[in-house]
Amino acid sequence: MLDLILASGNAHKASEFAELFDSKVISIRAASKKLEVIEDGSTYFANALLKAEAYYQEFKTPVLADDSGLNVLALPQELGIYSARFGGEGLSDSDRAHLLLKKMEGKKEREAYFICVLCVYLNPKEIFYFEGRLNGSIGHSYRGSAGFGYDPVFIPSEAEGELSLSELNDWKNKNSHRSLAAGFAQKFFLNRS
């Protein structure tokens, strides 16, 4: 079994990640404290690595770090690695999602995708990356109360109908970008042992 700390002090986030893995293969726990890591990389991979390295150096134990975001084809420079900072400081998740809907008004091209890059940092010589991607489009309204972030305005292509990710909680748990990346990581480490 691979025992990893999550590059986050958030116990809730750690338990969410733990649910994505078979605990007989990969065990996830929260770090004992949150580190302030400056995410100034130009890619998801770079930011995940920055977090993983910082937590590894502090705790001297293998780390799981992630970086994820929403990419909107009609707004190529505005979200992506900047998704959590879209619209500036002081905005809530709901504010950001509503701002995105406003910026998308009148746009025919609504294609978008969520991406998650996981970095498993065992030591400075063994670093592995796993990427999950969920394709979809930006809806025309804010729908649903489950999930977080941009879920209420994102319509996944592979789900049935026009429901937002926020209205598809069970489906999301099995098919999200994080779930897909975790599945790739689990399969890799299961076959590696």
> What is the Cα–Cα distance from 131 to 113, expressed in whole angstroms?
13
pTM: 0.93
pLDDT band (50, 70, 90) for residue 16: confident
Residues with active-site annotation = 67
Q: Give the pLDDT score at 8.
A: 87
Q: What is the set of domains in the chain, with CATH numbers?
A: 2-192 (3.90.950.10)
- With a cut of 90, say whether residue 92 has pLDDT above it: yes
Please give the helix or strand (H or E) that residue 66 lies within, else none.
Answer: strand 63-72
Structure-block tokens of residue 81: 């690695």
